[in-house]
Amino acid sequence: MAEGLIANRLALIGIGLIGSSIARAARERGLVREIVVQTRSPATLERAKELGLGDHYTLDMAEAAKDADVVIASVPVGASEEVAKAIAPALKAGAIVSDVGSVKMSVVRQMAPHLPSSVHFVPAHPIAGTEHSGPDAGLADLYVNRWCILTPLPDTDPAAVEKLSALWRGMGANVETMTPEHHDLVLAITSHVPHLIAYNIVGTAQHLGEVTKSEVIQYSAGGFRDFTRIAASDPTMWRDIFLHNKDAVLEMLGRFSEDLTALQRMIRYGDGNGLFDLFTRTRAIRRSIIDKGQDAPEADFGRHKIAAKAET
């Protein structure tokens, strides 16, 4: 293989935001020789062709997986078992099978039983994305300085884990490994519950009788606008995440509810010192995220884009 080449043939099952970003990044950085794009929608497949995301295109999952060195399923978590069943007969010995799902225990339960012992199963989760979806939403730099968590099973070949790690590092990601169980608990609080809160707050605003829809939109402050961005995420994907990581999400929601009750008590009884201490601690978390390079310090809430639009 040429220098920098990780795999000869990469098969992408699903070509939405995540899949199309993988295609763009792998192509731009010369990480693979061929990319096979699969999706069930003829219109989406045609759009992927127009965008030049792959070298080969098909509606058939098994056809896409044939002769692939690496197969990455970029589908809603609930579709993982269907993918595993479809590609299993076509996989060549030594192939690496992975995914990008935000829940790992469910993916392992769905996929592992159907994959042949001759392949290497390395579940993965790139912690990157936007509220947009579809092949047009992909970005070649989406994974730069973002984390990709691999959750290999205990008997997974370390060489296969390293090869997949190299692919993600080649796309700019920082790579970490952990157990599927630990991943699901961590992501429940860092991603899943925040999304659930965002969906709920935006839903509450929508149903608030004494505030009209036009006022909610016109007078949206930065915090609410940020919630609407999160709440605009793919409904199918997030439905599956909550249903397939329900134990960890419910555990974190229980803890959140307890903390919310304590916060209500502080407000009710005028505990200014308690509120100040809480807000000081949470502010430190924000600073830590910036220090880790996972966000920029500017809290513009989209204002630079609004200003730029006003000038045109």
Asked which of 6-15, 45-54, 125-134 is least confident by mean pLDDT, the reply is 125-134
What average pLDDT is seen over the chain? Answer: 87
Q: Tens of pLDDT along 209-235?
A: 555 556 666 655 556 767 777 777 778
Domain layout of the chain by residue ranges = 7-177, 182-311
Whole-structure pTM value: 0.77
Contact at 8 Å (CB) between 16 and 72?
no
CATH number assigned to the domain covering 182-311 = 1.10.3660.10
Strands 7-13 and 70-73: parallel
Question: What is the structure's pLDDT at 299?
Answer: 53
Which CATH architecture best describes the domain 7-177? Answer: 3-Layer(aba) Sandwich (3.40)
